[in-house]
Structure 1
Amino acid sequence: MRLYLVNIQARKGSHSVFSVRLHFVFVTHYRRKALNAKMLDRLKEMVEQVSNKIDCQLIEFNGESDHVHILLDFHPRNSIAAVVGSLKSSTARMLKKEFPEEVKKYYWGDVSFWSNSYYVSSCGGAPIEVLKKYIQNQARP
């Protein structure tokens, strides 16, 4: 049995070849509808800049007034928690700086822009059942 991964571009590290795609969802603190279209456009740029600095690549970005979806090509030298921390802290800081009036309508004082929690899932590649079958059918000696 051969395993074919469709539309997956693997990247190379010094000692590895990898394709790790992660879907993140960040929610605004208290789920307040604090994001507008201009802020979402700027957030996409911010996420792309931060991702590039940590050897990740932004594949897709979009959101609504109270949350954002981020699809990243993840570099395995990073930890998921560190990537989330970098993205959330830098984007919150820049949003507060670049959109002070919009942010102040919803958050004041030391209240963070993003909720403390986040969603992440791995995605892409072959379905889990195909992978399981491929592993089960190895030519074991």
Structure 2
Amino acid sequence: MANTYSQLYAHVIFAVKNREALIREEFKEELYKYISGIVNHKGQKLFAINGMPDHIHILLSLSPDCPLSELVREIKKSSNGFIKEKGLSKFPFAWQAGYGAFSIGASQISKVVNYIENQEKHHTKKSFEDEYRSFLENYQVDFKDEYLFEFFDN
């Protein structure tokens, strides 16, 4: 649409089904490159991607003609197929239903990139459940425990 200008940034978080630790160090870089390709192919920009064996964080910018829900659906569907096709996991792999998406401003990009790049260090102090709940609370997202990711830490 002519004369439409926007700059939208989203920090997206999603988990492996049942929060199983299936994203192994040996293939995570290949997986992240594949996901980056999906984002680029859709005409969007990826700023950072990283995670832990049981979940993933992505910071990206979106154009107004790309619904976030469709992009995340494509990322999860295609990367799931990629993992299976390449035989990257010795166990059945699937992403858990749902995801978290949190908007940020341009002034927060470097802070969020740093946060994503340092996931391993961050999770020595905080569990994924605590991290995810903190995001929901800090962004004032109404949620019900029964609809959150399946947490088995307790």
The code of the aligned residue for 1:67 comes to: H
Pairing of 1:8-27 with structure 2 (within 5 A): 14-27=2-15
Structure number with the higher strand fraction is 1
Structure number with the higher helix fraction is 2
Gaps of 5+ in 1: 1-12, 128-141
TM (norm. structure 1) is 0.70
In 2, Cα distance between the equivalents of 1:15 and 1:96? 43
Preserved CA contact (<8 Å) 1:39 1:95: no
The structure 1 segments of at least 4 consecutive aligned residues displaced by more than 3 Å after TM superposition are none
Q: Is 1:121 the counterpart of 2:109 in the alignment?
A: no
Aligned partner of 1:73 in structure 2 is 61
1:33 shift after superposition: 0.3
- Count of matched residue pairs: 108
* Greater Cα radius of gyration, structure 1 or 2: 1
CA distance 1:53–1:14, change in 2 (3 Å): farther
Preserved CA contact (<8 Å) 1:27 1:114: yes
Gaps of 5+ in 2: 109-154
CA distance 1:113–1:126, change in 2 (3 Å): same
TM (norm. structure 2) is 0.64
Percent identity (aligned):
22
1:104 shift after superposition: 3.5
Q: Cα deviation per residue 1:78-117 (whole Å; 9 max; x = unaligned)?
A: 111101111000111001111x2x5242x2xxxx610011
Q: Cα deviation per residue 1:25-65 (whole Å; 9 max; x = unaligned)?
A: 11000000001123210121111111111111110011100
Q: Cα deviation per residue 1:6-36 (whole Å; 9 max; x = unaligned)?
A: xxxxxxx753222111000110000000011
In 1, Cα distance between the equivalents of 2:35 and 2:21? 19
> Secondary structure at the residue paired with 1:120?
strand
CA RMSD, aligned part only? 1.9
Pairing of 1:56-135 with structure 2 (within 5 A): 56-98=44-86, 100=87, 102-105=88-91, 107=92, 113-125=94-106
The code of the aligned residue for 2:81 comes to: R
1:125 shift after superposition: 3.5
